[in-house]
Structure 1
Amino acid sequence: MKIKENLYTADSFEGDLSFEEIISQNQKKIINLIYGMTGDYYLSEDLTQETFLKAFQSRHSFNGKSKFSTWLYRIAVNVTVDHQRKSCVRKEMAAEEPDPKFSKVDTLQDPDRSCQKNATRNIIFTSIANLPDQQKEVFVLRELNGCSTKEVAEILDCSVELVKWRLHKARLSLRKTLNNNTNYKNLGTITLNRFGLE
């Protein structure tokens, strides 16, 4: 994703980091969060850029009471929810959408594994995107972005108990969906987490 870097180089933001460094450290996590919420990688790139623009514009409102990542995730969730409310349409992932994490080297080294990872990732993210919104937000923040339960509660402004309940429901729903997906079962075992597919 290309960020308009000239907008971010003037200020330091968190500690001694420039906003450009903040983007570099958090960009993949924000894309992952929004991708999990929308099921559309290219849309997640656009909304990630919008997230960073909003964060930059409201940078003086960050008071340090929560972790910076918590504050940034909250902005990303709000940006995504606002977009979904405006469009009123949940976009489906393109069936042949390339896996953005692939490099040509990976494909050349093991093309079968690359295709398997791409297919699995598409199935999983489509399933996540089809969860009810509240379950989806909790699942992506907790399972894909590695936030603690307490952080998720802060980001979504709800209780820890409610986060745990929504996460439980999301896991049950995903397990049922994936167990009923013949294509997924035929792909073998691959783990999806905040580091990607393994």
Structure 2
Amino acid sequence: MAPAEQPDAELVRRAQAGDVDAYAEIVRRHERQLRVVLLRILDDARDVEEAVQDAFVQAWRNLDRYRGEAALFTWLYRIGVNTALARRRRKGFATVDIAALEGREAPEVNPWRGPEAAAEAADLRSLVLVALAELPFEYREAVVLRDLAGLSNEEVAAALGVSLAAAKSRIHRGRLQLRDLL
């Protein structure tokens, strides 16, 4: 079976046995999703790239500690967030610089809606990013994982190391605060 077709658990088992190709497939599968999460924590694209790389290096070094009790991405997420937070502390970040996030993803222009609709979508995206940056970190983290990274409530709880009820509460309160800010 080709690595791209193997489940995470099998790739982890192979990587724990020293198979570098299996680990490369793990990185390929989860790098984009981890980058999306870390983009919401760090304000500089270079910092995000370095944090993602550092997280995967740490994960490789500590792969023997992964026991499969949670989803692989949950484990990688925790390493990535810890890496990003350490980077923020070292650099003394106070807030997320939304200007650094703008323009990373060009809005799609629907030929039926025209450029005005694309401009409105870009404006809305900017407003949401500004509002998201104003949320308390615990709410922002939960909302980003649920609504931007696409994790389930259970996966959010596991990634944050909190109960399911606490994760749902953070998501709900974060969404309410976002609504009020918008």
TM-score by length of 1: 0.69
Query: Relative to structure 1, is the Cα distance of residues 116 and 55 closer, same or farther in structure 2, using a 3 angstrom cutoff?
Result: farther
Greater helix fraction, Structure 1 or Structure 2 = 2
Structure 2 residue aligned with 1:191: none
CA distance in 2, matches of 1:126, 1:43: 19
C-alpha contact (below 8 Å) 1:55/1:72 kept by paired residues: yes
Looking at structure 1, the residues matched to 82 and 176 of structure 2 have their Cα atoms a distance apart, in angstroms, of 25
Cross-structure match for 1:62 = 66
The answer to whether 1:159 aligns with 2:159 is no
- The structural deviation recorded for 1:45 is 2.6
Give SS of 1:142's match: helix
Q: Could you say which residue in structure 2 is the equivalent of 1:34?
A: 38
**Do the aligned residues in 1 keep the contact of 2:43 with 2:101 (CA within 8 Å)?**
no
Partner of residue 12 from structure 2, selected from 2, 11, 14:
14
Of residues 25-34 and 147-156 in structure 1, the stretch that sits farther from structure 2 once superposed is: 147-156
Cα–Cα, structure 1 residues 97 and 140, in superposed 2: closer, same or farther, change >3 Å? Answer: closer
Identity over aligned pairs, percent: 28
Instruction: Please give the per-residue CA displacement for 1:96-139, whole angstroms capped at 9, x wherever unaligned.
Output: 8422x449xx67x7766655544433332232222111111111
CA distance in 2, matches of 1:57, 1:92: 32
- 5+ residue gaps, structure 1: 1-11, 179-198
| C-alpha RMSD over aligned residues | 2.8
- 1:88-107 to structure 2, matched below 5 A, reads 88-89=92-93, 90-94=95-99, 97-99=102-104, 101-102=105-106
Work out the number of aligned pairs and report it.
164
Q: 1:122 is matched with which residue?
A: 126
Q: Is the 8 A contact 1:77 1:137 kept in 2?
A: no
- Cα deviation code 1:65-109 (max 9, x no counterpart): 21111111111121122222333322413268422x449xx67x7
Structure 2 segments unaligned to the other structure (5+ residues) = 1-9, 15-20
| Counterpart-to-counterpart distance in 2, 1:18 and 1:112 | 46
**Is 1:46 aligned to residue 44 of structure 2?**
no
Relative to the length of structure 2, the TM-score reads: 0.74
2:162 & 2:50 partners in 1: Cα distance? 27
Greater CA drift, 169-178 or 88-97: 88-97
In the alignment, what sits opposite 1:187?
A: none
* Superposition deviation, residue 169 in structure 1: 1.1
- Secondary structure, aligned partner of 1:169: helix
- 1:86 maps to 2:90: yes
1:169 to 170, 173, 177: 173
